[in-house]
Amino acid sequence: MEDTAQPLQKLEGVVEHRIYENADTGYAVFEVNVGDQDIVVAGNVGSVDNGMQITAYGHLINHPHYGQQFRAESCEMRLPQDTTGLLSYLSSGVLPYIGPATAKKIIKAFGEDVLTVISETPQRLCEIKGITPEKAAAISNEFRRMYGVREVIAWFAQFGLSSQNAVTAYRAFGPHTIEALNQNPYLLCGEPLQLKFSDVDKIAAALHVELGSRLRVTAGIVYVLRHNAGNGHTCLPRAKLLETTAKFLLVTSLDIENGLDELLQSGELQPRTFDDTEYIFLPDLLSAEEDIAARLGELSTFPTEPPKTLESDIHALEIVQGFPYAPLQREAIRMALSNRVMVLTGGPGTGKTTTVNAILSLYEGEYDRVALCAPTGRAAKRLSELTHHTASTIHRLLEVDYTTGAVRFIHNEKNLLKYDVIILDEMSMVDVKLFQSLLAAARYHCRIIMVGDADQLPSVGPGNILGEILSAGVVPTVRLTEIFRQAQKSLIVQNAHRIVQGEQPQKGTAQDDFFIMEKNGLACQKLICDLVSERLPRAYGFDPIRDIQVLCPAKKGTTGSVELNRCLQEVLNPPSPRKPQLGGEKGSKILRLGDKVMQIKNDYDITFERSGAEAGVGAYNGDMGIITEVDVESRSVTVMMDDRKYVYSADQLGELEPAYAVTIHKSQGSEFPAIIVPVADVPPRLRYRNLLYTGVTRARKLCILTGSHWIVEQMVRNVRQNLRYSCLRYLLKEAATPPAERR
């Protein structure tokens, strides 16, 4: 967050001493002799060695902890040329078997040619006493490897790309990285770097790759598919893919058609045809949908014997809770006990949780190991509060393997989970890859109960599993429809059902838990601040920070989450000399002592402590907490999320955002005592039913819509189900059909 607007300064000198180096990220700190003094240089510049000549570009800054240092944005390095530099370089232990004494002997023997000898004719090193042919080969190999990384860093630097990217590329592509990238710069769009296509296009243009070249076209097609996976599609119809790619790449459709055929032939992409439409998949997403379909299809076709005492067991539960189950609830309970897989779906207040509780009790009488889980930390917490059973996130159930860098799970098909039953709530939020992983780790006989509301927004990741399962009609399903009397009293519940049925929500009166207040633009912004800071705490006793949540359809605009966060932070947690803070430069986000914050991406590595309980790792997208400490010196922030205490270091602060106002998308799976949804200035593309429905159903005790009623009307009317391309429904039907009956 420091000032980088000033022109870059240049620093030239010779590396005197390495202080710190992180081989994974390419971050290095070292002392450089610039003639009359030594200056500490830090930055993502890759590996450096004593004696190297460097030219760095960056800024001289005053680090609060380490004092004056040069923060390098980029750095060119040359191996030492003269014998003094060479001696310093070789004496530093940079190469195996060469210490200061051997370095002296080698330089004496080969002078300024020493590095050429090491690289080209290492056998000549055997002229030095003590260097065997094996040692000479090891020295030469190590030198070439290091030099290779450096060359890759230099190649990346000429296109303005970081050393961190270079180190990652070198690790993926090996000693021939530059050769491979010169031949096909579009490799940079794929794993592991996934750079933006337009940026790679510029590099390709500099390397004289033509617009219509096969390399560019095939990379463009894969890129379009991957981009669409980011928007939730597991595949695209062939025609749509061709059309989108042609527009994106500005080349003829014939070129694209040929490119696609090549990718299909090589297996880099895979086709499936259903209802006369050819769908094109990235292989990993196809195998995710196929695996899910195969498993659920198989489980669906093998019902089990229900326990003989089932009816009397259900009756016993009814006596304990004091009311009978409704017919559909009974059907769901029976289904859970007589099938290996099922879906339980329904809107708010239709008795899903009551039914899950019954299923849980009966399963616990039957089986030893029943797991309850949900896709997010907040959803798991809510589930465990409602059922009084331990519930965990799917990630925690599968246990993330932290050692590999990529997200892998400790429980998988080779190391199965030891559960007899898995009950999975908030199914609408689960994406195909995560569900594939969960099913793969489930034992063969494990029952799978999926619970969710298909009218909620679909998952952030690719797929629309719940919607697809329901439309396939293969998996045994109960759809609860009755709104129970208890829930009927709530206008939140009534209005949620109205919205789903395309009816307008009713404005409430003073006794109700749902209101619509007409205000637009800045007046709406001001109204929200007043409601949160004064009116609702006064009228209902809500804590403005912990109980009230503003949920925005959009990020941008006067009543978007960014602007509202700024205003609410100012009102609820204003600056004060007693409240240290970070950020704020040039309008960047501020993190201040006492702020409510949200974790905005999954971090599987971050550790937390708990007083009186075991420490652990992981903070997940959507987790919320309060800043309890800000250390300006080390630029670190301490956050309490329930009983978990996290310390975010300077480089992890990007994972946190103020959370007085969050988007409805980020609030999926969570509930709050009171919510306010600004329905003013909502961009047209975000005016749709499921978004409003998901927002409204997050409220437990109070829901206020502030904005204009005609935007509410538009949102209710617009049923543009976030159309998601997926073939799970077809694959499920196929999997549940005996082979002989398939077409």
Ligand X SMILES: Nc1ncnc2c1ncn2[C@@H]1O[C@H](COP(=O)(O)OP(=O)(O)OP(=O)(O)O)[C@@H](O)[C@H]1O
What residues make contact with ligand X under the rule CB under 6 A? 323, 325-326, 329, 346, 348-354, 484, 486-487
> How far, in Å, CA of 374 to CA of 80, rounded?
58
Give the rounded distance of the alpha carbon of 377 from its chain centre: 14
How distant is the alpha carbon of residue 268 from its chain centre?
Answer: 24
The two three-digit tokens of residue 707, written as one number: 């904005």
- The answer to whether 353 is a known ligand-binding residue is yes
Residue 507 assigned as binding residue: no
Matching residue, tokens 């932290």: 402
How far does Cα 18 stand from its chain's mean position? Answer: 35
Kindly tell me which of 485 and 578 has the beta carbon lying closer to ligand X.
485
Residue 323 or 402: which CB sits closer to ligand X?
A: 323
Nearer to ligand X, 255 or 453 (CB): 453
Q: Taking a C-beta distance cutoff of 8 angstroms, is the pair 374, 451 a contact?
A: no
Instruction: Give the span between the Cα atoms of 482 and 493, in whole angstroms.
Output: 12
Given a contact cutoff of 8 angstroms between Cβ atoms, the answer to whether 83 and 112 are in contact is yes
Q: What is the Cα–Cα distance from 32 to 624, expressed in whole angstroms?
A: 44
Q: Max CA-CA distance within the chain? A: 96
Residue 535 has what DSSP assignment?
Answer: I
C-alpha 327/C-alpha 333 separation (Å) is 10
Nearer to ligand X by Cβ, of 58 and 346: the residue is 346
User: Shortest approach of ligand X to residue 707 CB, angstroms?
Assistant: 24
Helix (H/G/I), strand (E/B), else coil: 190:
coil
Query: Pick from 578, 616, 612: which is nearest to 594 by CA?
Result: 578
Pair of tokens at residue 323: 């009311």
Helix (H/G/I), strand (E/B), else coil: 19: strand
Select 195 or 696, whichever has its Cβ closest to ligand X.
696
Q: In this structure, are residues 644 and 615 in contact, taking their beta carbons and an 8 Å threshold?
A: no
Instruction: Using the minimum distance from each CB to ligand X, give the nearer residue, 387 or 561.
Output: 387
Residue with smaller CB distance to ligand X, 253 or 486? 486
Does 349 show up as a binding residue in the annotation? yes
Give the nearest distance from C-beta 596 to ligand X in angstroms. Answer: 24
Angle at 146 between CA 140 and CA 151, to 5 degrees: 120
* Closer residue to ligand X in complex, CB, 227/479: 479
- Residue 323, φ and ψ in degrees, nearest 5: -150, 150
In the complex, what is the shortest distance from the CB of residue 670 to ligand X, in angstroms, rounded to a whole number? Answer: 12
Tell me the closest approach of the beta carbon of residue 673 to ligand X, in angstroms.
14
User: What's the closest the beta carbon of residue 499 comes to ligand X, in angstroms?
Assistant: 14
**Can you read off the two tokens belonging to residue 467?**
């919607």
CB of residue 232 to ligand X, shortest distance in Å? 23
**Minimum distance of ligand X from residue 395's CB (angstroms):** 23
CB 325 to ligand X: min, Å: 5
Smallest distance, Å, CB 351 to ligand X?
A: 4
CA dihedral of 452, 562, 529, 693, whole degrees rounded to 10: -20
Q: At closest approach, how far in Å is the CB of 451 from ligand X? A: 9
The Cα–Cα gap between 257 and 252 comes to 9
By DSSP bridging, strand 9-22 and strand 53-63 are antiparallel
Distances (CA, A) of 287 to 221, 235, 271, 580: 19, 12, 12, 50
Element spanning 49, H or E: none
Assign 645 to helix, strand or coil.
Answer: strand
**Pairing of the two strands 38-44 and 67-78:** parallel
- Could you give the dihedral angle defined by the CA atoms of residues 472, 476, 479 and 484, in that order, rounded to the nearest 10 degrees? -170
Residue 118 or 492: the one with the smaller Cβ distance to ligand X is: 492
Cβ proximity to ligand X, 330 vs 408, nearer residue: 330
Q: Which is nearer to ligand X, 689 or 729 (CB)?
A: 689
Question: Looking at beta carbons only, is 165 or 350 nearer to ligand X?
Answer: 350
DSSP string, 412-479: BTTB----SEEEE--GGG--HHHHHHHHHHS-TT-EEEEEE-TTS---SSS--HHHHHHHHT-S-EEE
State the nearest-atom distance from the C-beta of 332 to ligand X, in Å. Answer: 11
Q: Cα(first)–Cα(last) distance of the chain, in Å? A: 61
CA distances from 14 to 35, 49, 336, 703 (A): 9, 10, 72, 65
> Would the annotation count 55 as a binding residue?
no
Residue where the block lists tokens 């790309």 = 161
Q: Return the number of the residue (117 or 483) whose C-beta is nearest ligand X.
A: 483
Token pair 């637009």: residue: 520
- Cis? peptide before 185, omega within 30° of 0: no
393 belongs to an annotated ligand binding site: no
Query: How far apart are CB 345 and ligand X at their closest, in Å?
Result: 10
From the CB of 179, what's the least distance to ligand X, in Å?
58
- Binding-site annotation, residues: 349-353
Please state the residue numbers annotated as binding site for ATP.
349-353
